[in-house]
């Protein structure tokens, strides 16, 4: 049975002291947590080890926001999956729309990152989704299908089963817009059917597919209540402990 997951992507926000304070607030709020959702936070690289210590005895798991596409070497400024694993992190966000758009990460690079992440026993949270022009021209399904076919659908079934997918309608990230619950469900069901067609029923039914795109305490319950929405990849709302806690409990 697939898991419900709430993952908070802090992006390029918080200094280390601010991040530690936020993690401490979350740990306190979750001290008596008895829910069944997996909880993940993804602070900046510079925070991983310290925040890992803060959340060590809590139900919160640690993720990086990205990783290098090479194992080691002369790649100034890059952070290898093995380095991330050594901090105690268990997850890595890959393919986020901001990485695709601002840093021009190709499907080829994202596949290589995914393979290296899995090699280092980390779980990828792999993002897919369409731009507004693609949605308006009714190319959203074809766009997402191509993103899957050129990346994680090239993995073996056993490797694919280790990942978490996150559907991001890019037009709803940081804009205040949000896909309706019906739009989210439609795309998540479409993605699950693609998995069913590529692999099998069991793989499709056990794949957690998160929704990412302006998910807030006010709309989380309705989004999470959809049959094929298995939680959320949360941006801005994960930077406020009370808001993130409310989404976890949605």
- Catalytic positions: 96, 168
Place of tokens 């926001």: 65
Q: For the purposes of burial, counting CB atoms within 10 Å of the CB of 250, is it exposed (0-12), middle (13-18) or buried (19 or more)? A: buried
Distance between CA atoms of 26 and 238, rounded to whole angstroms?
10
Q: Which residues contact 158 (CB under 8 A, 6 or more apart)?
A: none
d(CA 246, CA 250): 6
CA 108: distance to chain centroid? Answer: 19
Contact between 146 and 110 under an 8 Å Cβ cutoff? The reply is no
Beta bridge pairs of residue 8? 41, 234
Q: Do 212 and 168 touch, CB atoms closer than 8 A?
A: yes
Torsion of CA 78, 211, 9, 146, to 10 degrees: 10
- DSSP secondary structure code for residue 48 in this structure: H
User: SS3 for 184-234, per residue?
Assistant: HHHHHHHHHHHHHHHCCHHHHHHCCEEECCCCCHHHHHHHHCCCCCCEEEE
> What whole-number distance in Å separates Cα of residue 164 and Cα of residue 210?
8
């Amino acid at each position: 049975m697939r898991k419900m997951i709430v993952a908070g992507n802090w992006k390029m926000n918080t200094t280390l002291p601010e991040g530690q304070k936020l993690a401490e607030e979350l740990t306190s709020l979750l001290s008596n947590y008895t829910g069944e959702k997996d909880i993940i936070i993804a602070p900046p690289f510079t925070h991983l080890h310290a925040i890992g210590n803060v959340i060590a005895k809590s139900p919160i798991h640690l993720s990086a926001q990205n990783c290098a596409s090479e194992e080691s070497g002369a790649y100034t400024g890059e952070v290898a999956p093995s380095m991330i694993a050594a901090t105690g992190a268990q997850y890595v966000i890959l393919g986020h729309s901001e990485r695709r758009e601002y840093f021009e990460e190709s499907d080829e690079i994202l596949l290589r990152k995914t393979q290296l992440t899995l090699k280092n026993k980390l779980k990828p949270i792999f993002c897919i989704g369409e731009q507004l022009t693609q949605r308006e021209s009714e190319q959203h399904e074809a766009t997402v299908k191509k993103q899957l076919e050129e990346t994680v659908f090239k993995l073996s079934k056993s490797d694919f089963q280790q990942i978490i997918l996150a559907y991001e309608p890019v037009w709803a990230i940081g804009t205040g817009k949000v896909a309706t619950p019906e739009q989210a469900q439609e795309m998540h069901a479409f993605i699950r059917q693609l998995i069913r067609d590529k692999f099998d029923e069991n793989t499709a039914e056990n794949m957690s597919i998160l929704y990412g795109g302006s998910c807030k305490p006010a709309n989380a319950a309705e989004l999470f209540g959809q049959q094929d929405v298995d939680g959320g990849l949360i941006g801005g709302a994960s930077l406020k402990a009370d808001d993130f806690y409310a989404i976890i409990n949605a």
